[in-house]
Amino acid sequence: MKKNMGWRELGQGDSLPAGTAAEFQTGDWRRERPIFNKENCIQCYFCWIYCPDAAIILDENKKVAGIDYRYCKGCGICDRECPTKKEKRAIIMKEEKK
Ligand code: SF4
Ligand code: SF4
C-alpha cells in the first residue's frame, strides 16, 4: 500500500508580502456576478462585513452603493448573507458573460 506524503516531504509554497492585495485584481476569476439593486437595499451592511475581498463599495455617505468588479471574485457570500427576500432582493447572482 502506498504511504501518504507527510508535511515534511511537501515542497515550499509561495508567499507574498503583506499589504499587497490591492495590486492583484481578482475579478477575472469570476464565474458569477453579483448584481446590486439599490432600491431594495436596507443598508444592513451584511454584504460589506462578509465580503472576503472588500469589494462592496460605500459612497461618501457610507451607504452601500455597488460592487467593485475589479476585485469581486463572485463567491456569492454577499448574496447568501443579504437578508432581503425573493422579488425584493438587493443582490442577485447572475452568470458572468464572457
Ligand atoms: S460575490 Fe463575493 S467577492 Fe463578490 S462582492 Fe459578493 S462577497 Fe464580495
Ligand atoms: S446585505 Fe443586502 S440589504 Fe444589506 S447592505 Fe448589502 S445589499 Fe443592502
**Tens digit of each residue's pLDDT (9 = 90 or more) over 41-96:** 999 999 999 999 999 999 999 999 999 999 999 999 999 999 999 899 999 999 99
Task: Please name the residue whose Cα sits nearest to atom 6 of ligand 1.
Answer: 78
User: Is 28 inside a domain boundary?
Assistant: no
- Stated pTM of the model: 0.83
User: Is 83 inside a domain boundary?
Assistant: yes
User: Is 69 inside a domain boundary?
Assistant: yes
Question: If you measure from the C-alpha of residue 70 to the centroid of ligand 1, how many angstroms do you get, rounded to a whole number?
Answer: 11
Euclidean distance between CA atoms 67 and 34, whole angstroms: 8
Euclidean distance between CA atoms 47 and 61, whole angstroms: 17
Q: Provide the Cα torsion 70, 72, 73, 77; round to 10°.
A: 180
Indicate whether residue 90 lines ligand 2 (CB < 6 A): yes
User: Is 27 inside a domain boundary?
Assistant: no
The residue segments making up the domain with residue 81 are 38-98
Question: If you measure from the C-alpha of residue 22 to the centroid of ligand 2, how many angstroms do you get, rounded to a whole number?
Answer: 23
User: Is 84 inside a domain boundary?
Assistant: yes
Indicate whether residue 49 lines ligand 2 (CB < 6 A): no
Indicate whether residue 30 lines ligand 1 (CB < 6 A): no
Indicate whether residue 46 lines ligand 1 (CB < 6 A): no
13 phi-psi bin (left φ>0, alpha ψ -120 to 50, beta other)? beta
Q: What domain count does the chain have? A: 1
State the amino acid at position 94 in one-letter form: K
C-alpha cell at 52: 472576503
User: Is 20 inside a domain boundary?
Assistant: no
Kindly report the CATH number assigned to the domain that includes residue 84: 3.30.70.3270
List pLDDT tens digits, range 19-45.
888 888 889 999 999 999 999 999 999
